[in-house]
Amino acid sequence: MLVRAEQGASALKIGGIAIMRLLEEKIKTDGKVISKDVLKVDSFLNHQIDPDLMLEIGKEFAKIFANEEITKIVTIESSGIAPAVMTGLQLNVPVIFARKQKSLTLYESLLTTTVHSFTKKETNDISISKKYLDENDKILIIDDFLANGEAALGLVDLVQQANAQVAGIGIVIEKSFQPGAQKLKDLGLRVESLARIESLANGVVTFISEKVEELI
């Protein structure tokens, strides 16, 4: 667990920069670079989940978006759910996850869009029940990874179909060398990523923050 691994760093004492550094450290120590485009973080985010780390991530997103009057959080199954729920807990708002497969019990009318994953080379219809979003909602979108931006753009589309407002997008790991973040910013959307990876070249994770430090 994070708290044990960090020798008792109290969850409550961790501030903004600290959680970003902690996440970067976690990625460096536990992440595995699969190729120049793909990072495996199964041990704390995509398969086994580190609840302490997720809680800190939720607190940080809640702090970043504190002034946005968020009414609901929207994410996509499955790996977006853990950081989204922790953020919802902190902001005291409900969390909705878009489904990739039709649910047995989801029979009311749906907002639906199509998302193509370049990473997984698959296309999914994703949906949210119309009854959970409306024009009074200010939505925070949360997801684990931002690569080409297709999942986030799909979620933005669902929110807009409901005439709700996207107040911002919170990402745990942004692969900044891929075009997703820029696509979203070009639409005028606020994107806040806790870890920003500049490169996975030569099997090494390099963060944008490290480059910034080199320049100082």
Residue 149 is assigned to a ligand binding site: yes
Least distance in angstroms from the C-beta of 175 to ligand G4P: 6
Nearer Cβ to ligand G4P, position 55 or 151?
151
Nearer Cβ to ligand G4P, position 117 or 163?
117
Least distance in angstroms from the C-beta of 69 to ligand G4P: 26
* Residues found near ligand G4P in the complex (CB under 6 A): 38-41, 46, 76, 78-80, 117-120, 144-151, 175, 180
Residue 181 is assigned to a ligand binding site: no
Least distance in angstroms from the C-beta of 78 to ligand G4P: 4
Residue 131 is assigned to a ligand binding site: no
Least distance in angstroms from the C-beta of 42 to ligand G4P: 7
Residue 2 is assigned to a ligand binding site: no
Question: Nearest CA to 98 among 44, 162, 41?
Answer: 162
